[in-house]
Amino acid sequence: AQKITQTQPGMFVQEKEAVTLDCTYDTSDPSYGLFWYKQPSSGEMIFLIYQGSYDQQNATEGRYSLNFQKARKSANLVISASQLGDSAMYFCAMREGLGGTYKYIFGTGTRLKVLA
């Protein structure tokens, strides 16, 4: 079974609008972390935002916020005021594991295109 599911292979958004990229996860570990990474066409993997499973508040980093709904096992990324430079592939990832052995699992990604 997929541990990280990103159901939107591709999305469009108008410049300056907000967009939500979906991510659901599956784990039985009580302690886990959720991440979003951006991968532009140049290929590098850029860390955007992190949410810990015990964090009470949703994570925010500038224009990025993570809508964490633990009961629904979802960790959607919200990008506010989209910019042309936001056009990229976005990966949701989960870190699970205890006792010093961690696994990082990635979703299949969502390609976002910001329109002028």
Partner 1 sequence: AAGVIQSPRHLIKEKRETATLKCYPIPRHDTVYWYQQGPGQDPQFLISFYEKMQSDKGSIPDRFSAQQFSDYHSELNMSSLELGDSALYFCASSLRTSGGAETQYFGPGTRLLVL
Question: Which residue is listed with tokens 């969502």?
Answer: 110
Q: What are the tokens at 20?
A: 């939500």
The values of phi and psi at residue 90, to 5°, are -120, 125
Question: Which residue is listed with tokens 């015990």?
Answer: 54
Binding to partner 1 by CB under 8 A, coded x per residue (else -) over 82-101, reads: ---------x---x-x--xx
In this chain, which stretch among 10-18, 67-75, 79-87, 107-115 interacts with partner 1, using CB under 8 A?
A: 107-115
Binding to partner 1 by CB under 8 A, coded x per residue (else -) over 40-69, reads: ---xxxxx--x-xxx---------------
- In order of 92, 96, 99, the CA distances from 89 in angstroms are 10, 23, 32
Residues engaged in binding partner 1 (CB under 8 A): 31, 33, 35, 37, 43-47, 50, 52-54, 91, 95, 97, 100-109
